């Protein structure tokens, strides 16, 4: 089946640090990748949609300068949380799909980000 | 706007009993519906989807879902629950134009031995 690898699984760092999270589709080409944020005991909140080779589309209320998304290839997208602060602590999850195949989204295992 | 609703925050069921996790939808046009499961500190795993065809959709791990157009529902079912089925379940509808998934609020399933 389609596998999406997300790395790292957990990050603990000091306030002001920038953190990069990688999302890779291992056995399919991800024309579209999605980044979500999940707060404890809540549903997933879509942050942005990225299509390979083009700029990400951010959801309303999501700061694009704070959450930098790069989708440089059909198998890799990155989310960089710039100058992270404690309020950025959350569970971040990526998903990927091959739009040409009308696939369901396949999700990574998430990254638990804790900012001290 | 497309949306799904999961009316139950938690469902408790004894092992071996049938389980149902409820989902209703509101869409313009034909619905494209999904069920995902999330285990603690993990991403979501795809269980099944409905686009067209048979109203009863079979998915992974023995789960199935019944699409009911008149009741605008897409309930997740399993004939015999396992303790290992305990997890958080999300219903979702896909937006045809943007491919975005709109998730329900999730239902925590607890299966007791």
Task: Name the minimum distance, in Å, from the CA of A93 to any CA of chain B.
Answer: 6
Best of B101, B103, B108 to substitute, by most chain A Cβ atoms within 10 angstroms, is B101
CA–CA min distance A82, chain B (Å): 23
**Chain B interface, best mutation among A32, A105, A110, by max B CB count within 10 A:** A105
**Token pair for residue B49?**
């989807």
Instruction: Give me the residue from A49, A107, A112 closest to B98, CB to CB.
Output: A49
Q: What is the pLDDT of residue A103?
A: 77
* pLDDT of res. A18: 96
DSSP state of A31: S
Say if residue B90's pLDDT is above 90: yes
The pLDDT score that the predictor gives to residue B111 is: 97
C-alpha B56: how far from chain center? 13
pLDDT at B24: 97
- The pLDDT profile of chain A, 116 residues, written as one tens digit per residue, is 689 999 999 999 999 999 999 999 998 888 899 999 998 878 899 999 998 888 899 999 999 999 999 988 889 999 999 999 999 999 999 999 887 777 788 999 999 999 99
Residue B95: the pLDDT is 84
- With CB atoms and an 8 Å threshold, state whether A97 touches B99: yes
Q: What angle do CA A22, A42, B33 make, to 5 degrees?
A: 80
Helices (DSSP H) in chain A: which residue ranges? Answer: none
- For residue range B14-60, list pLDDT tens digits in order: 999 999 999 999 988 889 999 999 998 888 999 999 988 899 999 99
The answer to whether A57 and A48 are in contact (CB under 8 A) is yes
Q: Residues of B numbered 17-76 whose beta carbons fall under 8 angstroms of chain A's beta carbons: which are they? A: 34, 36, 41-46, 49
What residues have CB less than 8 Å from B24, skipping those under 6 apart? B4, B5, B7, B71, B72, B73, B74
pLDDT class of B1 with cuts at 50, 70, 90: confident
CB distance A94 to A79 below 8 Å: yes
């Amino acid at each position: 089946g389609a596998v999406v690898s997300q790395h790292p699984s957990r990050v603990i760092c000091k306030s002001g640090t920038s953190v990069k999270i990688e999302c890779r589709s291992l056995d399919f080409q991800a024309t579209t990748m999605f980044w979500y944020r999940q707060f404890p005991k809540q549903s997933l909140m879509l942050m942005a949609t990225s299509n390979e080779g083009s700029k990400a589309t951010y959801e309303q209320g999501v700061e694009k300068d704070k959450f930098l998304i790069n989708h440089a290839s059909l198998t890799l997208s990155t989310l960089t949380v710039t100058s992270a602060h404690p309020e950025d602590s959350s569970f971040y999850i990526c998903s990927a799909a091959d739009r040409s195949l009308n696939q369901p989204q396949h999700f990574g295992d998430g990254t638990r980000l804790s900012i001290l | 706007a497309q949306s799904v609703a999961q009316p139950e925050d938690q469902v408790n069921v004894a092992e071996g009993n049938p389980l149902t996790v409820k989902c209703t939808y509101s869409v313009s046009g034909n619905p494209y519906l999904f069920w995902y499961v999330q285990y603690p500190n993990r991403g979501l795993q795809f269980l099944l989807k409905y686009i067209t065809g048979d109203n009863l959709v079979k998915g992974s791990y023995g789960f199935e879902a019944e699409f009911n157009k008149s009741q605008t529902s897409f309930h997740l079912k399993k004939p015999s629950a396992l303790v290992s089925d305990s997890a958080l379940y999300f219903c979702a509808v896909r937006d045809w134009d943007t491919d975005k998934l709109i998730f329900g609020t999730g239902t925590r399933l607890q299966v007791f031995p």
